[in-house]
Amino acid sequence: MARSRGRRRKKPRRSGVYWLSLPDPQSLGVADAKASDLRAFLAAYQATLESQRIEQRDGIARSLLEACQPFVFNRWQRRVSSKYSLQPLSARGSAIHGIGGRFNIGSIDPDQYPSFPALYLAVNQDTALQEALGSIQPKRGMTFRELALKRVDSYAMYSLSGSFDCVLDITRWDALNPFVEIIKNFRIPDEIVQWAK
């Protein structure tokens, strides 16, 4: 006897009470005004700092360049999605989004601050995977691959060694001291401080 190949019956929706919270038009207007005020404050704040950075540009550049040192790395790891495996040193992925990332600034003002890509490397394979998948290894239970905030696709892992002539190590406080000596004298006008309060 042939089986019936009809469509599966849809499960009935569960009955219940659902609350949908909608803000009233007045509160939306207040929130929009606050957001507009915040944008204006940030623009004024950044303009104040930018004018001081321009005045000290040569000193800032010198303080950072003088703190640079050669850097050698051995067998660092790079995780690359399979679709980029023929170009393992491509940094295109870091520059796809206009907002930038941790090490590239994104499209802020292309005329004044040209955007640039960033090449991500890690000291070991676990760190490279965790950085790519957006999770850390739990002490027990599921692995970080299972807890990934991204889809786990096929990937390639590359081991890289090399050296740089000039690297600014921002984990060394003494490397940043000359820079801090310059920017510590930056001043925020009283009206900006009051606006912030």
The domain locations on the chain are 33-68+168-197
User: What are 64-75's pLDDT values in tens digits?
Assistant: 999 999 999 999
CA–CA dist 197, 192 (Å, integer): 9
Cβ–Cβ under 8 Å, residues 178 and 56: no
Q: What confidence category does residue 32 fall into, taking pLDDT thresholds of 50, 70 and 90? A: confident
pLDDT at 132 over 80: no
pLDDT at residue 12 is higher than 80: no
Integer Cα distance of 117 and 97 in angstroms: 10
Q: Which residue has the higher pLDDT, 35 or 146?
A: 35
> What pLDDT score does 13 carry?
61
Confidence check: pLDDT of 1 > 70: no
Average pLDDT value for the chain = 80
First-to-last alpha carbon distance for the chain, in angstroms, is 80
Give the dihedral sign, CA 130/85/78/66.
negative
Q: What is the pTM of this model?
A: 0.57
CB 48 within 8 A of CB 143: no
Is residue 122 pLDDT above 90, yes or no?
yes
- Token representation of residue 114: 């040209």
pLDDT at 9: 62
% of the chain residues with pLDDT over 90: 31
